[in-house]
Amino acid sequence: MYRLLIVDDEPVIVDGLVQQFERSELPLELYAAYDGLEALEIASRLRMDIVLSDIEMPGLNGIGLQVKINRLWPRCKVVFLTGYNDFGYIQSSMRGGAVDYVLKTEWDEAIIEAVCKAIRELTQDMSYERLIEGARQRLLASVPMLRKEYLQELLQGEAGTADSRHARFSQLGIPLHPERSVLMAAGRVDGWPGELRPGDKALYLYSINNIVEEHLSGRAVSVHLTVRHDRLVWLMQPTASFGDAEAEAGVETEAGKNPNEPTAEAEEGRWTRFVQGTLETAQAVCREYLKLVCSFVVSSEPADWCALPAMYDRLSAVFAYGLGTTKEILLSDRYLEDKDVGRDRLALNRIHLLGTYLDDRDKSKFDELYGEVMAFADGEGWAGSGPALEVFYSLAALFIARLNRRGKFAQYAGRIDLYKLFSVHEHDGWSEADAFFRRLADLLLDADEADGERETSETVRAVNDYIEANLGGDLSLNRLADVVHLTPTYLSKLYGKSTGGSLSDYIYRERLAKAKRLLMESDLRIADVGVRVGYWTPSYFTRFFRKMTGMSPQEFRDSIRLD
């Protein structure tokens, strides 16, 4: 459907054109305005596809209206109506981007053809090939952002299958192999120099990555991700030339084995040492040339893609413990091996995703992750351990936030004991706490669906009530959308999906029913009956009534009285 706005300061012309286009089978949603300012007010609230406008109007003329509408909706096509062949006006309109102009003295077919021409141009503008090419260009421009989002998903445990990774790597220009293990390194800026301008930190982080990639010198492929304002993560794999270069250099492997036939373990060890040495050089270069003090932590061995979240968690733990809190460190995650820290906290670190799954009403993903979280907490014992308390109060905060956001706290207090959110000691053990959180999640998920259905029903009822109370007034889609505070397009779709019919059909039925009642039960003039049901032009009302019943209003009244 295309939106057509008809504008003229002569109401008879506007009403006549509205009737004419209603009788046509063109895919149009019609709007009418009786001067330029009214047209501009409509266009400022609602996107217009085509404007059919008089040129010579008081206040804001057609040329001025064209300029303002094109600023609001650059793709809008304008067709001008003019009562005389004024070359100056016509030249101005065409320079402004008008699709066509039609003399008011021409036949209706000429006006319809001009609008059809505008529809063809809109269709061409929105052609499949053009849309795909535009999307492709925008995708290329947004690849860095999309790559960052995807890498963040990998760090959060959404690695997917090798096939899905292959497709995304190709799409996003990620140079890594989706089936080979990957080595992770993390970098931290320990101190920034002097006063920084907006954007300087991002520039410094970009420079650090450039230094790292330059010193990998073709021996590795990598991608990097900024995870915090002072933190970088690299994912790396060796190139084929890495092993060749080691062999050519005569590097000996363990137990004096042939260097041309190294073991996989030895190969991984040399690869890890190479990365550590590269980061040591990068650290010195950053200090010398960027005046930045940086720290780096490297995983001790490559890992599968599904293990990235645990690997990232372990590197982050190094930064947070002991020597990792000092400046200019260069450590491996093996630093934590003999320390009671850094155990796998993957499930706990992903608790925030439970909120996302609740918001998305994705019950299967919620249940899967919730089970992992509870398994982790159960392994920590009950309320006596720090990790167990962290799980409980993280979940409590997550649910409290969603109850408050939806305005449901007081409502749910009568259905479930929400005081159990406030203290772990309100529960006798993890099994009881587990059951409590599961029930609360089910209530929220079920309520979201019920709330959506109820809101839809209430919206439809409010629209219907307004229509029945205002059959003689403005029942345009724009006005009805204002009544229920929705966009016109969304209201139209919502109403159709809920009722199986269109708003215009319901309005026609209600206007016809009221018109019949007035014709049967009152002595109002035919013109007055038309006004009561929203048709200010008697001829327009007669056409509508005949189209709906097969007879004119007078013929209908006469037939009733004869009976």
Predicted TM-score (pTM) of the model is 0.54
| Fold topology of 470-562 | Arc Repressor Mutant, subunit A (1.10.10)
- Cα–Cα distance measured from residue 55 to residue 72, given in angstroms and rounded to the nearest whole number: 19
User: What tens digit of pLDDT does each residue of 504-515 get?
Assistant: 889 999 999 999
CATH, domain range 2-126: 3.40.50.2300
User: What tens digit of pLDDT does each residue of 404-445 get?
Assistant: 887 778 777 777 888 899 988 888 888 888 899 999 998 888
User: What tens digit of pLDDT does each residue of 64-105 get?
Assistant: 999 999 899 988 999 988 765 555 555 555 555 566 778 777
Helices and strands: H and E segment counts in the chain: 23, 10
Name the band, by pLDDT with cuts 50, 70 and 90, for residue 356. Answer: confident
> Does residue 378 carry a pLDDT above 90?
no
Going from N- to C-terminal start, the domains of the chain cover 2-126, 146-344, 347-452, 470-562
* Lookup: tokens for 515: 């018109």
Residues 6+ apart with CB under 8 A from 391: 348, 351, 373, 374, 376, 377, 380
Mean pLDDT of 5-25: 87
Specify the 3-state DSSP secondary structure of 228: strand
Mean pLDDT of 294-301: 94
More confident residue, 388 or 128: 388
Going by C-alpha positions, the residue among 227, 158, 165, 155 that lies closest to residue 369 is 158
DSSP letters of 324-385? Answer: GGSSS-EEEGGGGTTSS-----HHHHTHHHHHHHHHTT-HHHHHHHHHHHHHHHHHT-STTS
- Cα–Cα distance measured from residue 511 to residue 535, given in angstroms and rounded to the nearest whole number: 9
User: What tens digit of pLDDT does each residue of 151-180 get?
Assistant: 998 988 887 788 889 999 998 999 999 999
2-126 shares its CATH topology with 146-344: no
Q: Provide the pLDDT for residue 474.
A: 85
Q: Find out whether 285 and 211 touch, Cβ atoms under 8 Å.
A: yes
Q: Which amino acid is at 267?
A: E
DSSP letters of 20-61? Answer: HHHHS-S-EEEEEESSHHHHHHHHHHS--SEEEEESS-SSS-
| Fold topology of 146-344 | Alpha-Beta Plaits (3.30.70)
Please provide the average confidence, as pLDDT, over all residues in the chain: 84
Share above pLDDT 70 across residues of the chain, in percent, rounded to a whole number: 86
Counted residue by residue, the chain has a size of 563
